Amino acid sequence: MGHEFTGEVVELGEGVAEFQQGDLVVVNPLISCGHCKMCKRGDQQNCSRRSIIGIHHPGAFAEYIKVPASACFPVRDALAGALVEPLACGIRAVEQAKVSLDDNVVVFGAGIIGLFSLKAASLRGAGQLILIDTNDERLERGKAFGATHTLNPKNVDVVEKVREITGGSVEKVIDAVGLPATRQQGIAMAESGGRVVFIGLHEDDTVIPGNVIVRKEIEIVGSFSYSDQNFAQGLSLIEKNAVVPDASWLHVRPLEEGKSSFDEQIDGSAQYPKIMLSV
């Protein structure tokens, strides 16, 4: 386990000239083959042989791990560097959404992927940026990521309220939750010709209104991790401090607290969108 991480180079493979021992690097955990049709056209995230360090290969919850040199990129700061991966996911979601200048964008889910999608949408010049979550503390943090409005479905009919805020013009929706309810609400909010990105992974079976999709020419599109280009964009933005780790949403804990931290995330009691474990 552990796929978002930075580390220090302690040993070099044969022929690796671009790094030295002691270098601080972030690792792109998505390993692609480089030769299939998807890789050849720049969609490494859809590589037919893709694998992920931390899932298919041993990950960063270990003292040392072995990774390809081509997956390593120098970073200035260990903590910020570990944010490249989730930011790249947000950049991908916003690319899949094709957010353009002054588009109104709704994001479901104030977890780290939702927040970084929000941030990427904000950087691309979105108009109204509406964040929806059931956790008020997380919603509050969304403002630092660019939310112009935050909505809690416990308190309001979010479809109705979004219509009120936007006058019905919702060009783009990003669902970073992955429940049938949020996916359906996203489709219900989108204007004709609007784009709804599914990035959240929870339940699989989801009922959608097929005829509404036709009559309003709605587009639904999946977003999975990121292309190599998205990772490079994320890295560049982190290195320029476009996103700075902040104690209000990022909690650093010792690796030993890994298990309790996961439990918190799963039972929903976690107040921090992001918890990092440090050795």
Nearer to a second copy, 194 or 261 (CB): 194
Our finding on whether 108 is near a second copy (CB under 8 A) is no
State how far the alpha carbon of 92 is from the alpha carbons of 72, 114, 197, 224, in Å.
20, 12, 10, 8
Nearer to a second copy, 58 or 127 (CB): 127
Whole-number Å distance between alpha carbons of 176 and 88: 14
Nearer to a second copy, 214 or 247 (CB): 214
Using CB under 8 A, which of 72, 199, 243, 275 touches a second copy?
Answer: 199
Neighbouring C-alpha atoms within 13 Å toward the C-beta of 180? 7
> Does residue 73 contact residue 20 with C-beta atoms inside 8 Å?
no
Nearer to a second copy, 121 or 132 (CB): 121
Nearer to a second copy, 208 or 255 (CB): 208
Our finding on whether 15 is near a second copy (CB under 8 A) is no
Q: Interacting stretch for a second copy, rule CB under 8 A, among 55-63, 78-86, 90-98, 253-261? A: 90-98
Q: Interacting stretch for a second copy, rule CB under 8 A, among 73-81, 110-118, 131-139, 224-232? A: 224-232
Size of site (CB under 8 A) for a second copy: 66
CB atoms within 10 A of CB 196: 26
Minimum Å gap between C-beta 148 and a second copy is: 9
Minimum Å gap between C-beta 149 and a second copy is: 13
**Where does residue 67 rank: exposed (0-12), middle (13-18), buried (19+ CB within 10 A)?**
buried
| Pick from 236, 235, 279: nearest CA to 257 | 279
**Element (DSSP H or E) covering residue 197:** strand 195-198
Q: Interacting stretch for a second copy, rule CB under 8 A, among 129-137, 154-162, 214-222, 267-275? A: 214-222
Task: Look up tokens 């990427």; give the residue.
Answer: 120
Using CB under 8 A, which of 20, 21, 192, 269 touches a second copy?
Answer: 192
Residues 29-88 that bind a second copy (CB under 8 A): 34-35, 37-38, 40-46, 48, 70
Our finding on whether 219 is near a second copy (CB under 8 A) is yes
**The three-state (H, E, C) secondary structure of 44-99, written as one string:** HHHCCCCEEECCCECCCCCCCCCCCHHHEEECCCHHHHCCHHHHHHHHHHHHHHCC
The DSSP call for residue 191 is P
Task: Look up tokens 């190599």; give the residue.
Answer: 228
Minimum Å gap between C-beta 39 and a second copy is: 9
Our finding on whether 146 is near a second copy (CB under 8 A) is no
Residues 112-141 that bind a second copy (CB under 8 A): 120, 123-125, 127
CA angle 171, 172, 174 (to 5 degrees): 165
**Where does this chain bind a second copy (CB under 8 A)?**
34-35, 37-38, 40-46, 48, 70, 91, 94-96, 100-102, 120, 123-125, 127, 169, 178, 180, 183, 192-193, 198-224, 227-229, 232-233, 236-237, 240
